[in-house]
Amino acid sequence: MGIPILLAATATQWASPARLPYELGRAGFDVALVAPKEALVAQSRFVAAFTPLPDTATPRQWARLVAATVEARRPRLIVPCDDAALHLMMLFVESPPEDIDSMLRKELSALIVDSLGDPEHYRASIDKTLVPAAAEALGVRVPRHAVVSDLAAARAFAAANGYPVVLKRGFGTAGQAVEIVREDERLERAFAKLSSNAPTIEWSAPWDSGGLLIQARIPGRGLLRAVAAWRAPE
For 157-187, the DSSP string reads HHHHH-S-EEEE-SS--TTTTEEEE-SHHHH
**What does DSSP say about strands 49-53 and 145-148: parallel, antiparallel, or unpaired?**
unpaired
Where in the chain is CATH 3.40.50.2000?
A: 3-116
Q: What is the pLDDT of residue 109?
A: 96
Coil/strand/helix, residue 68? helix
A 10 A CB-CB count for 76 gives 15
- Residue 81: pLDDT over 60: yes
Instruction: Supply the pTM of this predicted model.
Output: 0.83
- What is the tens place of the pLDDT at every residue in 2-57? 999 999 999 888 888 999 999 999 999 999 999 999 999 999 999 999 999 998 88
Average pLDDT over residues 194-216: 71
Average pLDDT over residues 71-80: 96
Closest C-alpha among 125, 108, 118 to residue 6? 108
Task: Considering the domain delimited by 3-116, tell me its CATH architecture.
Answer: 3-Layer(aba) Sandwich (3.40)
Q: What is the pLDDT of residue 229?
A: 78
The secondary structure of residue 53, as a DSSP letter, is: E
- Euclidean distance between CA atoms 72 and 98, whole angstroms: 20
For 126-216, the fitting CATH number among 2.60.40.1110, 3.40.640.10, 3.30.1490.20, 3.40.190.80 is 3.30.1490.20
For residue 189, the one-letter residue type is R
- What is the tens place of the pLDDT at every residue in 118-158? 999 999 988 999 999 999 999 999 999 999 999 999 999 99
End-to-end CA separation in angstroms for the chain: 29
Share of the chain above pLDDT 90, in %: 70
Q: What is the pLDDT of residue 206?
A: 64
Average pLDDT of the chain to the nearest whole number: 90
- Residue 199: pLDDT over 70: no
